[in-house]
C-alpha cells in the first residue's frame, strides 16, 4: 500500500507565498486597468482639406460632437487650414510646436478627409508629415467623404499605407459619407440619422484600440 507523505510546513508556506504573489499581481493589474479607464482619452479630429466651400467641414463638426458625447474622452478640432505650413519645405523641418504637442498628447486620431481625384488632399499629407515619433503606437480612424456613392472608399484605401508608415494603427471600422451634399442642411444639421449609429460603431472600436495601445505604450517595454 503506497505511503502518503503529508506536505511539509515549508512546502505549504511556499505554496501560500506563490498564491500571495499571484494575488498581488492580479490586484496590481486591476488597479492599472481602473486607472487606464478613469484617465480620459484624448482623441482629436483632423479636418483634412482647406478648400473653399468644403462639405467635409459639416462632417468634421458632426463627428466632433459625437466624440464629445463619449464619457472619458476629450477631443478638439484640428483644421489643416489653420496650421502654419510652408510650401517651400516639408516634413519635420517645418514642424509646428503646437500641432506636434497636440499629437504627442493624443491617444488616437480621427481623420475626416474628402476624396479628390481618387486620392487624399495634398495639404493633409503635408500636415501629417510634420510629425513622426509623435504618432508611434497610437490608433487612427478615417472618415471618408465624397460627392459620389462610394463615400471616400478610395481615399481611405490610399491613406492606409501612409498611416502604417507613420507608425499609427488604423482600425478596421471606417465611416463613408456618401453624396455628402445631401447629408446636411445649410446650417450643418445632419439629415440622415443613420450616420449616428455608424459613427457610434466607429468610435467604439477607436476608443477600445486607443485604450489598448495606451496601456501598451505605458506598461510594456520595447523589445
**How much is the pLDDT for 35?**
61
Residue 73, C-beta contacts closer than 8 angstroms, at least 6 positions apart: 40, 41, 42, 43, 67, 207
Provide the residue ranges of all domains of the chain, joining segments of one domain with +: 41-216
**How much is the pLDDT for 10?**
46
Query: Is residue 107 within 8 Å of 168, Cβ to Cβ?
Result: no
Correct CATH for 41-216 of 3.40.50.720, 3.30.1950.10, 3.30.43.10, 3.40.50.360? 3.40.50.360
**How much is the pLDDT for 9?**
47
**How much is the pLDDT for 132?**
96
Query: Is residue 206 within 8 Å of 168, Cβ to Cβ?
Result: no
**How much is the pLDDT for 87?**
84
Runs of H (alpha helix) within the chain: 9-38, 56-68, 97-105, 122-128, 153-166, 194-219
Can you tell me which residue has the cell 453624396? Answer: 179
134-180 confidence digits (pLDDT tens): 999 999 999 999 999 999 999 999 999 999 999 999 999 999 999 99
**How much is the pLDDT for 88?**
85
pTM to 2 decimal places: 0.84
> What gap in Å lies between CA 54 and CA 147, rounded to an integer?
11
Torsion of CA 181, 186, 189, 194, to 10 degrees: -20
Low-confidence residues of the chain: pLDDT under 70: 1-20, 22-23, 25-37
Amino acid at each position: 500500500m503506497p505511503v502518503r507523505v503529508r506536505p511539509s510546513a515549508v512546502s505549504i508556506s511556499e505554496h501560500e507565498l506563490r498564491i500571495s504573489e499571484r494575488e498581488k499581481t492580479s490586484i496590481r493589474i486591476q488597479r492599472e486597468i481602473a486607472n487606464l479607464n478613469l484617465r480620459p482619452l484624448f482623441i482629436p479630429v483632423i479636418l483634412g482639406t482647406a478648400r473653399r466651400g468644403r462639405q467635409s467641414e459639416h462632417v468634421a463638426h458632426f463627428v466632433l460632437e459625437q466624440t464629445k458625447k463619449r464619457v472619458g474622452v476629450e477631443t478638439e478640432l484640428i483644421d489643416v487650414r489653420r496650421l502654419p505650413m510652408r510650401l517651400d519645405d516639408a516634413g519635420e523641418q517645418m514642424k509646428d510646436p503646437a500641432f506636434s504637442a497636440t499629437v504627442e498628447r493624443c491617444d488616437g486620431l480621427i481623420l475626416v478627409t474628402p476624396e479628390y481625384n481618387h486620392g487624399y488632399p495634398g495639404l493633409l499629407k503635408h500636415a501629417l508629415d510634420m510629425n513622426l515619433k509623435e504618432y508611434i503606437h497610437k490608433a487612427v480612424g478615417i472618415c471618408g467623404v465624397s460627392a459620389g456613392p462610394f463615400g471616400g472608399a478610395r481615399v481611405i484605401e490610399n491613406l492606409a499605407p501612409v498611416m502604417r508608415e507613420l507608425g499609427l494603427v488604423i482600425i478596421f471600422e471606417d465611416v463613408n459619407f456618401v453624396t455628402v451634399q445631401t447629408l446636411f442642411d445649410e446650417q450643418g444639421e445632419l439629415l440622415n440619422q443613420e450616420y449616428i449609429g455608424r459613427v457610434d460603431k466607429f468610435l467604439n472600436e477607436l476608443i477600445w484600440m486607443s485604450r489598448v495601445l495606451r496601456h501598451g505604450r505605458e506598461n510594456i517595454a520595447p523589445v
